[in-house]
Homo-oligomer: A and B are copies of this chain.
Amino acid sequence: MLDERKKRILGAVVHNYITTAVPVGSRNIAKKYKLGLSPATIRNCMADLEELGYLAHPHTSAGRIPTDKGYRFYVDSLMEQEDLSSEEKRKIEKEYSHKMNRIDEIMEETSQVLSLISHYTGLILAPNLEKSIFHHLELVSLENGRILSILITGSGLVKNKIIEAEEILPEERLEEILDLINDRLSNLPLKRIKEFISDQLKIKTYSVKIWELMNQIFTWDGAEELYLRGRINILEQPEFKDLTRTKSIFQALEEKRLLVEVLSRPTPSEGVRVLIGKETRCRKIRDLSLVTSTYSINGRPVGILGVIGPRRMEYSKVVSLVDFTAKIVSEVLTDLSHTTKVYG
């Protein structure tokens, strides 16, 4: 375990590096942070911290920069959460003040807010359909036996899908099955609906065709939607002025699949999660950090939002931002889910 002095010096180095982006030297620390120590002492201490793996040298005779381990310790033990300024809070609340009826508006707005306030890249993963609650299904027959299905979830998400039925189904038959579904399955999690379809519907007298149809309606390509805003903010950071590296990072940010994969990893704990550099376990974004939180509807977590930016991120502020935003989004979505019950 680090002693008090080491902690304070590590904290000072990380803090200074985060704000200046310049490798920090002992003299600098001695001047800016009143630790009551001379540069020489600090130097010794920093050498120790380096040996312990918390700091690194870009080269001899340059200051130190934190390693991932250093950032990790800072985030876990040293940093104190820096509340958003009341102005920032106001700004966020204002963005959500006007009525939004559609989930995708809320997603757009949220990624925008996260990017705007953090000056990094904001992201939000749309509510996972699997975890959503079923509310209503509407079917419209199209030509050639194709059917447009409109699925409404408890959170107000509307999902359209066009289905090719092999055989044209009579209108009455559809009505019948539709009523059954809407009567019996309302408020069930979508995940459970497929089970129901397998169990109930198959046993009953309904034809295989209808079973297949329903199966198709409640199956969707797993491609969860990811909203990203403010990618250019990455270019703002001095460490990315070198183009070659920057380009590969942009490429990674264009690959939604990659980010979705990283984001959907099971969350070990409640609240805000911080992934630093290599901890993302993904080469392409190993120079970036990720601050995320789940957001929920009626207390049930349905999606993930957060900020992605340079390793040298203002964690103390971003953690607050992500936390705050997640709470607001949860509220907004929960409200929406209450007013989106199907009528009659």
Which among A61-69, A141-149, A193-201 touches the partner chain? Answer: A141-149
Question: Within 8 Å of chain B (Cβ to Cβ): is A232?
Answer: yes
Distance, CA A31 to CA B160, complexed state (A) = 61
- The answer to whether B343 and A102 touch across the interface, beta carbons within 8 angstroms, is no
- For residue A130, which residues in chain B have a CB less than 8 angstroms away from its CB? none
Q: Contacts A251-B232, A343-B142: A160 and B162 contacting too (C-beta < 8 A)?
A: no
Q: Is the CB of A342 within 8 A of B141?
A: yes
Closest 9 CB pairs of A and B: A141-B343, A101-B162, A143-B341, A158-B160, A232-B250, A235-B247, A138-B140, A143-B343, A142-B343
| Chain B residue nearest in CB terms to A249 | B232
Residues 329 to 344 of chain A near chain B (Cβ within 8 Å) = 339-344
* Chain B residues near A246 (CB-CB < 8 A): 235
Copy count, this protein chain: 2
A9 at the interface (CB under 8 A from B): no
* Beta-carbon contacts under 8 Å, A169-214 to B: 171
Q: Is the CB of A142 within 8 A of B342?
A: yes
CB proximity to B under 8 Å, residues A122-176: 136, 138, 140-146, 148, 150, 152, 156, 158, 160, 162, 164, 171
